[in-house]
Each structure stands twice: as C-alpha cells, then as structure tokens.
Structure 1
Amino acid sequence: MKIAIVTDAWHPQTNGVVTTLSKTVEGLRKKGHTVEIIHPGLFRTVPCPTYPDIRLALFPFRNVARLLDAYAPNAIHLPTEGPLGFTGRHYCEKRKIPFTTTFTTKWPDYIQVRFGISVHLTYKLIRWFHRPATRTMVATPSLKRDLEEKGLKNLVFWGRGVDSDLFKPRSKDAIDAFRPIGMYMGRVAVEKNIEAFLNVKAPGTKVVIGDGPAMQSLREKYPAVRFLGKKTGEDLAIHLAAADVFVFPSLTDTFGIVMIEAMACGLPIAAYPVAGPNDVVIHGETGWLDKDLNIAFEKALEMSPERCRQHALQFSWEKSIDQFEANLAPIPTAPHP
C-alpha cells in the first residue's frame, strides 16, 4: 500500500508526535508499505508563535496537491491540525476521497493557557477539522470518552509503544547528585505545568531534560534545578535511567510516551490523576497518582522498579503499527486533480 502522511510535526522537532510517527513509518516500511511524508521541511516556513523552533508551512496547498497527485496514494493520513493538516483535509474534501486523522494534542487547552482563548471556541474548530474523516485515531480510552463528550465522532484506538532495548534499567552513575533524583523529560513550556514539579517539597535533586520556550526563565527562577538541555538516543536513555522517580506534571497531555520510556527504565511515575497518567500508570504499582504532587512523589519512591519495567513491556510498537494500518481508509481509486 502507498500511504501518504501529511503532517506539521516531523524532524527536527522532538516530541511524542514525532516519535510516534517515526516509529510508525519505520514499521510500515518493514511490512512492505511505501510511505511518503509531506512535512514542513518541504516548504517555505515561518516560526510558530511562542514556539520559534517549530516551523509552519507557508501557503502549502499547491505543492501539497502536486506531491499527492504525483504520488497517487492508496491512503492518506492527517495527524496534525496545522497548516499542512488543513491543506491535506482540503485536498481530500475537494476530490471526495476518504482520509483518516489523529487527535494527538490538546491544542485548545494549550491555547487557553497561553492566550486565554476559550476552549469552547477552539474545540469548534477541532470538531470541524475531524468531522469528515472516516476515522479519527486516539491513544487512550479516557481521551476517547472526553472527545466523544465534546462531540467528536468515529473515534478508534491507536496505541503507543516503547523501544525496550534502548530504554532499560542501567547504572545510576550518569547523574552524580543527592538522591532521590526526580526527573522531568519533555518540552520545557508553560502548558507542561513543569513548575508544579519544580515546586515539589522533597529531598534530593530535581533534573529537567529537554528544551523549549520556558527554559531560560525557569533556569533563572530555579537555580538549584539541573537543566540538562535536549538529549537524544543512547545519551537520553542513560540519563533517564539514572533518575529515581519520573515526574509527569502535565494536566493536558493526551498520552505521554515519556512515561512508558521511564517505566521501561525502571522508574516509577509521580503524576496527577488525569487523562494520560490514568491510562498509562497502574496506580499503586507502577507509580502514584494524586492531586498533591508532593504525595505522588513520596509514594512513587515505594514502587518496584521491576514492576514498572514489566508493565512498560506491554506497550508494543508492533501492535501500535498494526492498529494504525487497520485504521486507515483505503482510497477506492488513486486521486486525480
């Protein structure tokens, strides 16, 4: 099958969406499919407001149409509600061909945090974007319920996985610091609620891995915290495994692949009892969920690293890729201009 993925999230961005797409594309190609990625790097771009490291395609419709016409895919997937996602939607609607989408990011909640715009308004746009899709893929049962309450239809599951050969228990020597070490890994931005972690009253050391628009202000405000910056691959896995507790303070994430990666390293999770952690963490076994992050941190230290690893191994990229493949909407005939 020739599959086209039209996405605003792709390398060199570092986030859960890019990780998921990269693993999915790799797996689909191993299964014999041909996959074409239409991404911002193929177009003139402008920086995303408040996220200058994220580039948005500028006036992409003509080139997107040309690329899709030339490729003639058997299925089209739109994983993001950005300029390329909207362009892909317009292309499919204009030609009356089926397509699938993914709800990966709670942009309405992010936009409300950053700009004060009501989620009531932005979810209207989200419903409009996904309405014509044959299927909209979501990662967890709680997210499915939440979106159904908000009026989204045709929701199906698309799970996530972990590279258990990369993310595994290792020596704790990579970080020489007073323990216990609590770690956050991910984008350093206001909507991730990182300050809730940085304000936890707990002994030991707090470590942040990642980069983002809030990095400089948080460095200045929390000089005792170790900000290690962006890390990837083996270096990332080594430093992640050196922590004692992984703290996931976000209230708005739809999943949180980093939690699975942390558990695969044997780290228990401290988080709020919200969508994402509720679906990924076994409360009282692989982490602790509490409205008070201080309590969650303290109780998480009592969890078994072996149980965390065991639970993480249930999340398989192979299963995830099979789900994605089954969810696609085949195009009866190749699209024509």
Structure 2
Amino acid sequence: MKKLRIAFYTDDYPPITAGTTSYVMQMRKELERRGHEVFIITAGDSKTAEFAKNDPHVIVLRGPKFIDGKHTVAVDVVTLLRALNGKKFDIVHSHSPFLMGFLAVIYSKVTGSKLVSTFHTYLFHKKALSKYISYTLPFLSSNRVLLKISKLFMVGYLRVYYFLSDKVVAPSRFVRRLLRRNGISNTEVVENGVKVAKGMEISKREARKHLNLSLKSRFLLYLGRVDDEKNLDFLLNSAKKLGEKGFKIIIAGSGHKRKQYIKMSEEMKLTNVYFPGFIKDKDKKYYYRAADVFCNPSTFDTAGLADIEAMSFNLPILVPKTGAQSEFVRAGPSGEVFEISDVSDFVDKAVKIAENRRKYNPRAVAKAYSISKSADKLILLYKHLLSSKNNSNAWVTR
C-alpha cells in the first residue's frame, strides 16, 4: 500500500485547547504509526512556535491576533513556502473553513492536490451562527442589521468553501444531514475517534480519594471548554433539583465563560457545583473514574469527542435528544438522552443512570469510535479520492 504524504491545515493547535486540536494530534499520530507522512500547518504566536519548535513536520505561520484573542491571522505565507520547499502532498486536509482553511484551498488548487475538509464546527444553525459571531466579532452582534448580513455572508461563504472541496467529512450522520440541507452533497461520514483510554485499573473509590471527593455523593461531570456553545447554563439551572437527588456537579475545564459561570453559581447560591479549572490529560482519568454520569448539554457539538473519551472510561453519558451526541446512545448501551427543555426529564435520567450502572456498557460502544477505526475510514476515503478520475461520490461509509 502506497504511503501517503498528507497536510493538515488547522487553526487550532496547542496551546489552544479544543476538540479539533485533540483530534488533529491523535489522528496525525495514528497515521504516522501506519507509515504515512503528516505535516501540520497552523497559525499561532510565540507559544505555539515554542510548542512546535522541535517538530520539523509542524509549520507555524505568524501574524496578528484575531479579534477573539485566541487565534492568529496567518499572513506569513513566505514562511509556509520556504518550509514546504516545493513539497507536493497527496492529500490536503483542512480542519477549518476560515483562516487556515482558506490557505488550504489555495494550495490544493495551485498544486492539484486533493482537498478534504472536515466540518468540525456547527455553523449552519442560526443560533449557532449568532453565538459564533458574537464570540469572534462582538462588535457585529449588537447591531441586528449587521448581524443578519453577517449570517447571510457566513452561510454563503461556507457553501462556496465546501463546494471547492473534493470531499467534505461529516463527523456524524447528524452533521451530514445538516450539510445536505444546505446544498453540500459531496459528504461522507467519518466519525472523530479518540484513543481508547487506559486507567481502568483505577477504581471509583481510589479516584475519589485522589480528588478528595465524597465517597457517598453522586457526581455528574462535564469536562471540556467552558464556552457559550456548551450550554452550561442548563447544568446550573438543574443544580438544585439534582442536589435534591444527592448529586454534585463538576464543571471542569477552562474557557472565556468560566468566571461568569462561577459568578452565576454564587448568585444562585448553589452549593453543589464545583469548577476545578483546566484538567491536564494525565489527571482526566481520575475525574472520569470518579463520576457517576457524564453530561455535555451542548446541542451544537458535531462529534462529541468528550463523550467518547468518557465512554472509554466506562462512564455512562447523558446527552440531548437532538444533536450528534444522541447517535452514541443509539449505537449501544452507553447512556440516556434527555429533552433539552425539560429539567425534570434530565434529573430523572441522571438518577436512572446512577441507580442502574450495570445496565450500561459505554466502553464497548467507545471502541467502535476509536482513533484506529476512524483512521481506517479516513485512509479509505483518501485512497478513493486519489484513485477516482471523476471525483464521484460512489464511496460510502457504513
């Protein structure tokens, strides 16, 4: 089998923490394990450059900070051309439709490389678009006319961008339906996998002692970015009813909304909600093993990587009935779904999971979403594109 040379273009790379960051790094490692050559082309500041300085396969473009204060506008194209030094890639794989994605399109069209784009961010939904614009371009969100124009422009741009891709990867069937409703038909489903966790030897008791958590309480865990689109208000609004059932809530992670949620929790006089902050990878196993239920209440997630990670530690998940995450529950005994507008249903389902843990086998479901299986599908897609003369959509995932 021919070994491929692949370029991943991404706006998210350490020290930025995001699901895309985790997936890109894990997938690169898995593809390289199989003998393929993977370059990561990203934009960043001095911290990003420092993180990547000893890795010749990571190219960091420098430029001014974007308005969100997190991403970098990639203007240092000279560095890119010098670093590539005439390299030709079999596959250019974009993991963002914006800053780096734009460069991926240009490079693929100039060199004739096949362009694959993964739809990581839920941007076609009106509410999701509003939140994204208010977060990245806050000066537009205060003007209804400008906001409406921005949404129309964004949707138009996204349609053109994905039309220019030879194949668009949807991380879930939910996302594929969303893309097709918006006129993007050149899609295939390749689920974003994760490395199946080690750390199962740690018992719940040991994990709780390590974290200094009560052995008697029930714990509902959220672990991820603490940002608008994660809908963490829902957990705070459910906290009192959960508390009546013996639950404590752990909202672990960092993000621009963390301080606001802490303040909100204090104003609501919630005594059963904890915010431990950013959790290092080596410590995540203790939180997953200590908890009784994992819940990401977001309705905007396209893949639910944190859900898969939680399931790999055999932690049952509780997810919104609508959205991509519900596919994990339909795939096997991994947890329960709840109505996002119904706090009582949410609390009842949390209790159901806590009282019937042996009914669930989330780790078995997680194995179907491993990074290895995701890589199998991705390589098959790459091979099909490279062998196809007419870019037909004949290749179909399971």
TM norm structure 2:
0.76
Structure with bigger RCO (C-alpha 8 Å, 6+ apart): 1
Q: Pick closer, same or farther for the CA change 1:251–1:84 going to 2, 3 Å.
A: same
Tell me if structure 1 keeps the 8 A contact 2:90–2:113: no
Alignment partners' CA distance in 2, 1:125 and 1:301: 45
Q: Does 1:297 align with 2:350?
A: yes
TM-superposition CA deviations, 1:35-93 (whole Å, max 9, x none): 1111113122444434x3x3223324444344445322222111111211111112223
Alignment partners' CA distance in 2, 1:244 and 1:112: 34
Q: Does 1:90 align with 2:144?
A: no
Q: Does 1:141 align with 2:173?
A: yes
Q: In structure 2, which of residues 119, 129, 140 is the aligned counterpart of residue 111 of structure 1?
A: 129
Question: Where does residue 281 of structure 2 map in the other structure?
Answer: 233
Q: Does 1:209 align with 2:252?
A: yes
Percent sequence identity over aligned pairs? 24
2:114 aligns to what SS in structure 1? coil
- Residue ranges of structure 1 left out of the alignment (5+ in a row): 333-337
Question: Where does residue 316 of structure 1 map in the other structure?
Answer: 370
**Which one has the largest radius of gyration?**
2
Alignment partners' CA distance in 2, 1:36 and 1:78: 12
Question: Where does residue 276 of structure 1 map in the other structure?
Answer: 324
Tell me if structure 2 keeps the 8 A contact 1:184–1:247: yes
TM norm structure 1:
0.89
Question: Where does residue 291 of structure 2 map in the other structure?
Answer: 243
Tell me if structure 2 keeps the 8 A contact 1:240–1:262: yes
Alignment partners' CA distance in 1, 2:101 and 2:258: 29
Tell me if structure 2 keeps the 8 A contact 1:170–1:242: no
TM-superposition CA deviations, 1:86-140 (whole Å, max 9, x none): 1111222344443111111113554312525455542221111111111111111
Q: Pick closer, same or farther for the CA change 1:169–1:145 going to 2, 3 Å.
A: farther
Question: Where does residue 335 of structure 1 map in the other structure?
Answer: none
Alignment partners' CA distance in 1, 2:73 and 2:90: 24
Aligned residue runs from structure 1 range 44-83, under 5 A: 44-50=62-68, 52=69, 54-83=70-99
Tell me if structure 2 keeps the 8 A contact 1:169–1:266: no
TM-superposition CA deviations, 1:199-222 (whole Å, max 9, x none): 212022110111000011111111
TM-superposition CA deviations, 1:256-307 (whole Å, max 9, x none): 1111111222222122112222212238932221212334323332443551
1:56 aligns to what SS in structure 2? coil
- Residue ranges of structure 2 left out of the alignment (5+ in a row): 45-59, 135-140, 142-146, 389-398
| Superposition RMSD in Å | 2.4
- Which stretch shifts more, 247-256 or 279-288? 279-288
Q: Pick closer, same or farther for the CA change 1:68–1:77 going to 2, 3 Å.
A: farther
Q: What amino acid is aligned across from residue 158 of structure 2 in structure 1?
A: I
Tell me if structure 2 keeps the 8 A contact 1:255–1:280: no
2:71 aligns to what SS in structure 1? strand
Question: Where does residue 227 of structure 2 map in the other structure?
Answer: 189
Per residue, is there more helix in 1 or in 2?
2
- Which stretch shifts more, 36-45 or 67-76? 67-76
